[in-house]
Amino acid sequence: MATHHPTTAVLSARHAGLVGCSRCANVSPMGTTHCPTCGSRLFSRYPRSLQLVWAWWLAGLIAYIPANLFPMLITDTITSHDASTIIGGVIELIHYEDYFVAAVVFLASVVIPIAKFVAVAYLAMMVQMRRNDQPHRLHRLYEIVEFIGRWSMIDVFVVAILTSLVQLNVIAQIHPGAAAICFAISVIATMISAMCFDPRLLFDVTEGHKND
């Protein structure tokens, strides 16, 4: 099935005795410490890439737990005090028939973070187990993770927008709860985790397979 992919033609810079610059893509002889073109530090592979990926991944996962248990939004009106968690908020939005906002919040704060945890763990595990049967699929997955990373903060923005919208209403006052901080920490930690992953490690696994 995968025979039409030219996987056997993969030649990494490291294999050719070169080191690539991750900033400007220029290649220099192995052992060069700084890029002669842009001056940034050169690493054939980021040092301790996987350890850092797992450390930040775990930090993100730990922060994600209180992000779901603590209230995300605290609404105060003259007569009531209401605190809702992420899931509680989604249920409330559905109750008020705000299906679109409910879907956005659910997607941004549940589906995307969990998908990202799974995807990063899968990439790291494939490299650790030296399994890269489908290098193109793993690279595609890495690209998706990178793309999602740019939109991860969307939920924090949703909370900020909701807060400012309701703030205009003099009857109700709305504050972000403790979960908002935990969520932001979780998003930042998973973002760093994904950034620590050196996609060039996927080349090594492919080459390892070829030599087996």
**Residue numbers of the site for Zn ion (CB under 5 A)?**
21, 23-24, 26, 35, 37-38
> Cβ distance 62 to 77 under 8 Å?
no
Three-state DSSP class for residue 114: helix
Nearer to Zn ion, 35 or 74 (CB): 35
Q: Which among 94, 116, 112, 95 has a CA at the least distance from the CA of 103? A: 94
Nearer to Zn ion, 39 or 208 (CB): 39
Shortest Å distance, C-beta 32 to Zn ion: 10
> Cβ distance 66 to 182 under 8 Å?
yes
Degrees, nearest 5: CA angle 89-95-96: 95
Nearer to Zn ion, 23 or 130 (CB): 23
Shortest Å distance, C-beta 111 to Zn ion: 37
Nearer to Zn ion, 42 or 194 (CB): 42
Shortest Å distance, C-beta 204 to Zn ion: 21
Question: Within 13 Å, how many C-alpha atoms sit on residue 135's CB side?
Answer: 21
CA distances for 147 relative to 9, 11, 46, 123, 140, angstroms: 27, 25, 20, 15, 10
Shortest Å distance, C-beta 205 to Zn ion: 25
